[in-house]
Structure formats: structure tokens, C-alpha cells
Amino acid sequence: MAEFEPCFKKMIVLEGGFHLHKVKGDAGGMTYAGVARNRWPQWPGWQKIDAGEFDAKLTGMVKEFYKNEFWDKINGDSIGAQDVACQIFIAGVNTGLKTSVRLTQKIIGAVQDGVFGEKTFRKLNAMVQDEKDERIFVLLFSLLQIFRYKDICLHDARRKHEKFVSDEKFLCGWINRVQEQL
């Protein structure tokens, strides 16, 4: 069965570590350790950050956030393949959990509703029972992620408004992120 800790360690590196970031044009706005303030304004860690308290408790809050909001929602501990669990989890953090689950469902031939329910869970674990199948899943998932990022850039409705920066500037970083997971 998969373990959260190795996936978390990979993800936090991809998210830039335990640092506060603000990238011009990023719809997520200010982020800390990948937690986007615009997406998660009620996350209690923002109170500590606003108070300038960057300590071990904040690190624990980040880890708890990712465990509760992403890992547990895909039943990560029960996925039978570590790399598959990491792939779904890390993509969920970057693209949104529903998108990550839809990509998973497309590969396993399940209804693409974005819900990681019992049918999705069973079909996934049935598919990745050996190392070869696990590797095939990871490669297919990676390709679908790259196609998803391409589509975001091609259909970026915000380009029509000059006050927004197109997501194209993130494309190379997104592709590198997928490559680093492999």
C-alpha cells in the first residue's frame, strides 16, 4: 500500500518548498508551500504567515492540509502502487483534485466524474497490480497531464483581457514538473 510521506516529500519540492511566493499573473495569488491563498483563503496557516510565524507548527499545518485535502480524498493509503498514488496526489495539488481524478478515470476506463469513489478505487487497484502496469499508468497519466496543460494554454479565455497574463508562461514549468515526477 502507498505511503503519504514519500509523496509529500516529492510534492513539496515541486511546489517550491516551504517558501512564500507571489508570481505576477498567477490566478492562485500568494502561495506558501504550494497552498494558494486565493484558492484556500480559510486555511489557518495564513494567520501564522500574516503574523510572521514561520515555524515548525506552520510546517505541520502544511503537511496536515495536504493529507486532509488531497491524500485522504483519493484514499492514498489504500492505493496498491506507490508511484501511482504519488502521481494522482501530486497532479491533484497542481491541477485540482477533480482534474487529477478525471485523468485517472480516463486511463482505467471509469466514468469521468472527478469523484474518487469505490468504483474508481477498485478499477485503479485492479489495473496496477504489477510493476509493468504501474509504469504504464504513470506514463499515460503523465501524457494526459501534458495534454491538459496544453489545453489550458490554448483555451486561455483570460488572454482576451489585457490585465491578465496568459498561463502560457507556466507551460514549460508544468511540463518540467511532469518530467521530474517520472
CA dist 182 → 19, 20, 65, 77, 129 (Å): 24, 26, 25, 21, 19
Q: What's the confidence (pLDDT) of residue 164?
A: 46
90, 82 contact by CB (below 8 A): no
Q: What's the confidence (pLDDT) of residue 158?
A: 53
DSSP state at residue 18:
S
Total domains in the chain come to 1
Buried b (16+ CB within 10 A) or exposed e, 140-169: bbbebbbebbeebeeeeeeeeeeeebebee
Q: Which domain holds residue 161?
A: 4-181
- Residues 78-97: what's their mean pLDDT? 94
Q: What's the confidence (pLDDT) of residue 180?
A: 74
- Residues 42-53: what's their mean pLDDT? 95
Q: What's the confidence (pLDDT) of residue 27?
A: 73
Q: What is the pTM of this model?
A: 0.85
Q: What's the confidence (pLDDT) of residue 163?
A: 46
Q: Using one digit for the tens of pLDDT, what is the confidence trace for 105-133?
A: 999 999 999 999 999 999 999 999 889 99
Q: What is the CATH number of the domain that holds 15?
A: 1.20.141.10
Residue of higher predicted confidence among 164 and 156: 156
Question: For residues 14 and 178, what is the distance between their CA atoms, to the nearest angstrom?
Answer: 10
